[in-house]
A and B are shown apart, each in its own frame.
Chain A
Amino acid sequence: MSAAGGRTPRWLLEAQPGLCPCGCVGRRSRRGFLDATLAGAAKVRGEALLGEEAAERPGRLQRLDARAKLVAALALIVAVALARSVAVLATVAVLAPALAVATRIEVARFLRRVWLVVPLFTGLIALPATLSVITPGDMVLPLGHPFGSELGVTAQGLQGAALIVLRVGASVSIATLLALSTPWPALLAALRSLRAPRAFVLVAGMAYRYLFVLLGVVEDMYVARKARGAGTANRGIAGARAGRASVSAAAATLFARAYGMADDVHLAMVARGWRGDARTLRPGALPRIDLLYAVAAILFALLAIGADHALA
């Protein structure tokens, strides 16, 4: 129970400041490249897993044939790209989460995936365009005269920014609905039946499969490096240089692994009769109800363009 001397060493009894994993004790450091990459890897895995799970659920969209969904999504995205009125774009952006609810995709996750990302990237790009420097027009919110001339937010600038953010949001919404309701293999088969090159579809399918194998390699390397105590070698210019060397080494090793894997996969394919020409399963006939849905989506897209012309 106690040490050889019959008493507990003093350092074990002394209270020490705990190394709180939340970083609330001691110096906080910005998240290093190891953690950032590991978090990115976890996010890719999580998104893929949740997407596959959502695509399996017995919802309305999930039951539809992937070909019908792909055509419908393309028609709607083209309509969104052509639209020039805020009202039409906003309607599509509001209908998409409603459709997510109807097809048993968690609406919170759907909204997070679309409306947390789009305003952050597209919105940030569009933000300067609301200013009078970029888009002159009727001043809505004057911001003084910092550079001699009058600066402020203009109505025209706001409208332009809203158009951009809504357009990107609406088209990402449609693409996300398609991705979350369709398993990747079904989506690829649909691409193939829409005359995408056979080799391209085959490459995309295999790339997606091995993406996760290689992701595992990256995670293993990075967790091992973190375990060896990389946390301290993370500060300052010298730390960044060492970090870059480590990323380069990891990426180079990853390439060597991927190349070796490609050789192995090739041999395994040849052993199974592969001779260099891709074959895919012949898809069955499109059910009438699915065809109907696709036609309905195309009609809706045309209607949206029509309404847009009437409004704009």
Chain B
Amino acid sequence: MGAAMVPVWAVASQRVKRVVTSRYVPLVALGAAYSFLVMMLNVPIPDGTSAHAVGAVLIAVLLGPWAAVIAVSVALLIQALFFGDGGVLAYGANAFNMAFVMPMVGYGVYRALARGASLTARRRAIAAGVGGFVGINVAAFVAAVEFGLQPELFTAADGTPLYAPFHLAQSIPAMMLAHLTVAGPVEFALTAGIVAYLQRANLAILRINHPGLPALGGGGLRLRPILIGLAGIVALTPLGLLATGTAFGEDGPDELNLHKYDLSSVPHGLQRYSDFWSHSVLGGYGFASGEHPVVGYLLSAVTGIGLIALVVSAILLAVRRLSAPGAGRVA
């Protein structure tokens, strides 16, 4: 994982340097110190306790995604080396999840949702919050996949897992449950709250990464009804479980009504490829054990949405970068 981060760091430092030149070192250093402290701030949650946020998407919104990559990486290094939090060898994986995947995905979501909104628009603050929510959940999903692959890849001769013991079907629900219910909303609250506060109290700070954006006007698109509607659709996905019968050939060749198509046997090619996808993560849209079908179905839906959001935001980011005037510049 560390090897994957080397080119990312190289690109990030080139991009940040090109924009801020000699201010690069103090700016990113202070950004890293800030990132470390944001991870330390306790955010109160309704049960009376408090939780931490990561703040990677926040820094991406304030300073740009590439500066966030470096700032969060340095903050994680200080944590790993000096305070012994998180293993030294896990540093590469941690940096990939929290310093690369999270700010990039979150920033992509933020840019997509805040498109055309003025600097002080409420939609911009909510877009930053949603970016934080999606960013941390996609990062958690990636981390869960990293965990879950470990028992497949590294086991002793007698089958004892050498590293993380949980399989994908166990690690993904465990990670996603915690992040969708607690860590994600905390990230949303902090990211949206800070942007909203800066909109009221210190607009100059928001201008750093949004030069030339009008302070007022814009708005337009009402976000809340769309989000509520989407959430409703997600919540209703288990309805499909009530339906009888199956979608055409969706589950496997053995469910095909062969007589209907004047076939005497399952076509050879179909038979061969039908087993190809049988190793999927949430097979049959549920847990491998088949327990809790509704929970499994919902989780599959949310996971799928997260994945789609990842792909869509990556495409959006790429399109924006290519189509922006003076392509290659950090916004």
Query: CB within 8 Å of B: which residues of A?
Result: 29-30, 32-33, 36-37, 40-41, 44, 47-48, 51, 74, 77-78, 81, 84, 113-114, 117, 125-126, 128-129, 134-135, 156-157, 159-161, 163-164, 167-168, 171-172, 175-176, 178-179, 184, 187, 197, 199-200, 202-211, 213-215, 218, 234-237, 239-240, 243-245, 247-256, 258-259, 261-263, 265-266, 269-270, 274-276, 278, 312
Contacts and interface: CB of A to CB of B under 8 A. Distances in A.
28 contacts: A32-B44, A32-B50, A33-B44, A33-B50, A41-B40, A44-B83, A77-B88, A77-B89, A129-B166, A160-B165, A172-B84, A176-B84, A179-B82, A202-B29, A206-B25, A207-B36, A207-B75, A210-B29, A214-B34, A234-B48, A240-B44, A240-B48, A249-B193, A251-B38, A251-B55, A252-B197, A259-B30, A269-B25
Contacts of B38: 251
Contact of A203 (B32, B43, B159, B193): B32
Given A113-B84, A215-B37, A252 B160 contact: no
B258 interface: no
A179 B37 CA distance: 20
Contacts of A32: 44, 50
A264 B165 CA distance: 49
Given A84-B162, A163-B160, A168-B87, A255 B205 contact: yes
B32 A197 contact: no
A208 B78 contact: yes
Contact of A276 (B13, B22, B37): B22
B201 interface: yes
A120 B25 CA distance: 37
Interface string B214-258: 000000000000000000000000000000000000000000000
Nearest to B10: A197
A248 B22 contact: no
Given A134-B170, A243-B50, 6 more contacts: A156-B159, A244-B43, A251-B38, A251-B194, A256-B205, A263-B26
B23 A262 contact: yes
B197 A249 contact: yes
B42 interface: yes
A210 B78 CA distance: 12
Contacts of B22: 266, 269-270, 274-276
A207 B62 contact: no
Contact of A200 (B21, B74, B161): B74
Shortest Cβ-Cβ A-B pairs, 5 listed: A248-B193, A206-B29, A243-B44, A276-B22, A129-B165
Given A206-B25, A240-B46, A259-B205, A171 B34 contact: no
B99 interface: no
A48 B82 CA distance: 8
Contacts of A161: 165
Contact of B88 (A171, A184, A240, A275): A171
B49 interface: yes
Contact of B26 (A36, A113, A250, A265): A265
B24 A252 contact: no
B189 interface: yes
Contacts of B82: 48, 51, 179, 184, 208
B156 interface: yes
A243 to B, nearest CB: 4
Given A30-B48, A84-B156, A248-B190, A266 B42 contact: no
Contacts of B201: 249, 252
A278 B84 contact: no
Nearest to B82: A179
A205 B81 CA distance: 13
Contacts of B58: 251
A209 to B, nearest CB: 8
Contacts of B164: 125, 164
B163 A265 contact: no
Contacts of B285: none
A171 B87 contact: yes
A134 B165 CA distance: 8
B31 A258 contact: yes
The residue in A29, A175, A203, A234 that gathers the most chain B C-beta atoms within 10 A of its C-beta is A203
B41 interface: yes
Interface in B41-87: 41-46, 48-50, 55, 58, 62, 70, 74-75, 77-78, 80-85, 87
